[in-house]
Structure 1
Amino acid sequence: MPPSVPGSWPVAESIPLLDRHDAVLLDLDGTVYRGSLPITGVPETITSVRRLGVAVRFVTNNAAKAPSAVAEHLTSLGVAADPGEVSTSAQAAARVLRQRLSAGSAVLVVGTASLAAEVRAVGLRPLTAAEASDEQAEQAAAVVQGHSPDTCWADLARACVAVRAGAYWVACNGDVTLPTERGQLPGNGAMVAALRAATSAEPEIAGKPRPPVLRTAAESAGAADPLVVGDRLDTDIAGATAAGFASLAVLSGVVTPAELLAAGPAERPRYLATDLTALQSKADELEVAPRPGWHVTAEDGVLVASSNGERDGIDLLRALCAAAWRHGTSAVRAGEEIAEAALAQLGLV
C-alpha cells in the first residue's frame, strides 16, 4: 500500500510524470468530462499520453452504460477509446455476484439494461425491478443496484421487498452525487441510501474504492506501476490506496480544497492538480509536498501560509496539504496579502 504521510514517498525526480508510471487509470465523470461536455484540454492530453506509448484505461463507477457505449461517448468527445479499455462498476458488481451465487440464480436488477446484460453475461438470470412481481422479488437470490435516471419509487419498493426477504444486496457504487453540466445531481449512492434507510441493511459495494476494478484495469494494460487519476477522494483516491497504486487528485469534479486538507490517510493523493492536463507536467511539480514558493508553518493548531513571491494557488494547496497531513490540522490563515488572495481563490477563507 502506498505511504500516505508526506515525505514517506520516494523523492520525485524532475522528470515527466508519465516517466514514473506505465499506465494511467482514468476516472470519467468529473475527470475526463462533465455529463456530455469534455473538460477543456483533456482530449488533447489523452492523445499526447497515447503518443508517448503509455497505456490508457478508463475506470468508471457509473454503471448506467455498457463499455461499448462508454467508448462511443468518449470517441464523440474526441477521445479515441476501445470497449476493451473500459472497466465499469457494473462489470465489477456482476463478478461479485457470480462469486457468491450459483449459476442461473435470479438477480433483481435496479438499473439499466446494460447492468442486466452484465448480470446475464456471468451466467446469472436478471429480473428487471420494473417488471418483476413482488413474489419474484421475494424469491430473488440477490439485488444489484446501479445508477439509472429512470429509477423510481416502484423500483426501490420492489428491491426493498427482496432485501427484506434475505436477498444478497450488491451496489455498483456508493457515489452520492454525479457531476454533470447541470452541476452535482443525485448519483447511485443517493438511491442506495434510500434503500438502506428503508431496510436497515447494508450492501456490498462493488466499484471504487474496492480495489478489484482498478487492479483488473491495470492487469489489462500490463502495468506494474499505474497512476490512478480521479476527482473523488472516497472512491478514486481511496481505491488507488487500497490497490497499492499512486494517485493524482484533480479539482475538475467533486473534491474541494477543504476536503483535501481534511483527508484521512486512505484518501491522500500523491499528486494534486487542477485537471487532467497536468499529466504532461513534471512529477515534482505535482507532488503534495512543501513548495519552494510558499512558506507554511503550524502555529497553535493553525496553518499559517506566506508567499515567497509565488501566486499559484494550487501550488499553495499542495504545500498546505503536506502540512495539514503532517500536523493533523486543516485550519488555515494567511500570513500576508498574497497568501490571503490565494486562500480566497481556493475557497479556504
Structure 2
Amino acid sequence: MRPLHQLFDVAMLDLDGVVYRGREAVPHAAGALETARTAGMALTFVTNNASRSPAQVAQRLASCAVPAEPAQVITSAQAAARLVAAEAGPPARVLAIGSDALREALLAEGLEVVTCADDAPTVVVQGMSTSLGWSDLAEAVRAIKAGATHVATNLDATVPTDRGIVPANGSMVAAVTHATGRPAAEAGKPAAWIFHQAARRSGGSHPLVVGDRLSGDIAGARAAGYASLHVLTGVDGPVDLLRAAPPERPDFVGLDLRALGQTHPAPTRGEGDRWRCGTAVASVAEGTVRLHRPEQDQDLCDDAALTLDELRAGCAAAWSASDRAGVSTVLERGPARLILSG
C-alpha cells in the first residue's frame, strides 16, 4: 500500500518502449523518473539494444529530459563482450556484426576484433544495427560455417518505435541461424547476470526491474530473483498479460512509469474462484476472462475497455486457473486487443 519508489531502492529500467520509443520520449516518463529519484530511488538502465554505447544512451536519455551517467547504463553489447571474454578469453578473434558500440565493447574486454570471415574468427558476435545488410550477414554465415561460434547480443524479434513495431536483432539473427542451421547463444536479457550486474553497479539491495516485454524484462527479473513492474507502453499489452506463462508474470502492472509513484492493490481470492482488486471482480469461465460488473457480466472475447484494476483481477483469475490446470494458459477464447480505460 506504499508507492513502489518507497518499497524498492533501485529501479532497473528497460529503455525502448519504457522510457522512449524511437526518437520520442514515452509520455510521463521523465517526470515519473524524476519523482522516483527525488524519493531516493536509484536508477539504472538495462537495455538489449546493442546499437548505442553507454555514453550514447546517456545522451539519448538527456534528450528525453532524463539525466543519466554512462556508468548507469548496461547494454547487451557489454553483456556479449563479457560473455565471450569469460568463455573464450582474450585470445579469441571476434567478427563483430553490428554497430561501432559493439566493437568498442569487445575491444574494452581485450578481445581481438576482425572484419571478415577470411580473418579466421573463432566467434561471431551479432548485435543490432540499422545499417546491417546482406554482405554483413553473409560474412557471419561464412565464419560460422567455417567453425566459429555464434553469439547474439539479444534475440528480441521486435522493438517499439515512434512509428510502431519494427524488426530487432533477433529477426536479423534468425536469418543467419536459418542459413547455418546452428542456434546462437544469447548474452542479453532475459539472462539473470545482466540484472545482477546492474544491481551491484547501483549499490541497491532491493531492486525492481521495469520493462515492457514479458519474455525479456519480466522473465529476466524472475530468473534473477527480483520483483518486476510491467508497463503498458511498449511491446506486450493486456492480452499478453492475461495469457502469460508463470516465468513471465510480473509482480506489478502499470499504465506507464507513473506506476513507480503509485500504490498497487493486490487481488484477493473470493468465493467461486472470483478475484477482486478494489471494486473490480473477475473469474474464468468457458475459456475466457469474465468481468463481473454491477450492470452485467462481460466476457473478454471481443475488443473491450477495462480498468487497470479489472486487468489485475483478470490476470489473477487467469493465472490461478492456469496453474490449477497445469498449463501455461487456460484461455481458449480471448480478444485480439484490449483497451485500458480510467
Aligned positions of 1:1-349 closer than 5 A? 14-128=1-115, 132=116, 134-136=117-119, 139-284=120-265, 290-308=276-294, 313-328=307-322, 329-331=330-332, 345=339
- 1:283 is paired with a residue whose SS is coil
For residues 183-214 of structure 1, what are the alpha-carbon distances to aligned partners after superposition, in whole Å with 9 as ceiling and x for unaligned? 11110000011111111111110000001111
Amino acid paired to 1:51: T
For residues 149-176 of structure 1, what are the alpha-carbon distances to aligned partners after superposition, in whole Å with 9 as ceiling and x for unaligned? 0110110011001111111211000011
- Per the alignment, do residues 104 and 272 of structure 1 end up closer, same or farther by CA in structure 2, a change over 3 Å counting? same
Q: Give the TM-score normalised by the residue count of structure 1.
A: 0.87
- Pairwise CA distance, 1:286: 9.4
- Per the alignment, do residues 286 and 86 of structure 1 end up closer, same or farther by CA in structure 2, a change over 3 Å counting? farther
Percent identity between the two aligned chains:
41
| Alignment-derived partner of residue 327 in structure 2 | none
Moved more, 221-230 or 21-30: 221-230
- 1:345 is paired with a residue whose SS is strand
For residues 29-55 of structure 1, what are the alpha-carbon distances to aligned partners after superposition, in whole Å with 9 as ceiling and x for unaligned? 000000111111110111111111111
- 1:173 is paired with a residue whose SS is coil
Amino acid paired to 1:174: L
Q: Check conservation: 1:170, 1:204, Cα contact below 8 A.
A: yes
- Pairwise CA distance, 1:292: 2.6
Q: Check conservation: 1:302, 1:331, Cα contact below 8 A.
A: yes
Query: Larger relative CO (CA 8 A, sep 6+): 1 or 2?
Result: 1
- 1:290 is paired with a residue whose SS is strand
Alignment: residue pair count: 320
Moved over 3 A (4+): 285-290, 308-312
Distance 1:308 1:233 in 2: 32
What are the ranges of 5 or more consecutive residues in structure 2 without an aligned counterpart? 270-274, 297-304, 323-329
